[in-house]
A = this chain, B = another copy of it.
Amino acid sequence: MPTRKKNTLRESVHGSLKAMIVTGQLPPGARVTENDLAVKLKVSRTPVREALNRLEQDGLVVGRPRQGYTVKEFDIQMFREAFEIRELLDGYATELATAKITAADKERLREMVRECERLAALPTRSSGDMFQELQIGMDIHRTIAEISGNVMLCGLLNGILDKCQHYVWMELLRLDEWGIARDEHFEIVEAICAGDAARAVELTRAHIRGSRNNILRLLQAKSDYQSFLARAS
């Protein structure tokens, strides 16, 4: 329960709830009531209310008037849309970042890639290690967006990544497709550092397309399995 310390309780609660949802402590479809969260976080209902409002705009919970809030459910179509948009926006972020990157930024990105490789090479990997590797993998994309210097682009991409993050974790943790992403991240970062914008953009777009296909295939299989179970019962 990471209770980030912020200036206002509203922001603190918003951060805490976002973390709970993204890490799966609050699973999709879970019913959340203001009162429960208020007592659990030891604040009054007011900041919880305001945090839930923000989360609704974030697209992480859905709230129907006078019916309460539930954690946003799993939605294949949403993923398809998110990744198609990311192919455009991440590609653009890479293009901008290649032009504006500084030496310090290059070191920052390379360090993240190295850390991923270190975690991948561990003799025995705890699920926490895999968790952390995935986290850093997504942070690489967030960092590239930040380096791009386009504030609006960075905000849009962060919002989309937040929406996807916890599903990606849930579904992908056991799959070893992730090894591919590791190499791709390395190549993207090196292309950016080398100043080869065309190559960096194309690698980025291919990387997003590849992730999209992997995840959609996995989600489709899971969906098929569930409808098979439903038909069998």
A interface vs B, CB < 8 Å? 7-8, 10, 49-50, 53-54, 57-58, 65, 77-78, 81-82, 84-85, 88-89, 92, 150-153, 156, 160
Contacts and interface: CB of A to CB of B under 8 A. Distances in A.
A136 to B, nearest CB: 25
Looking at A8, A50, A53, A65, which has the most chain B CB atoms within 10 Å of its CB? Answer: A53
Contact of A88 (B8, B81, B89): B89
Nearest to A150: B81
Copies per assembly: 2
24 contacts: A7-B65, A8-B65, A10-B53, A49-B50, A50-B53, A54-B57, A57-B57, A57-B58, A77-B151, A78-B151, A81-B150, A81-B152, A81-B153, A82-B152, A84-B92, A84-B150, A85-B89, A85-B92, A85-B152, A85-B156, A88-B88, A88-B89, A88-B92, A156-B156
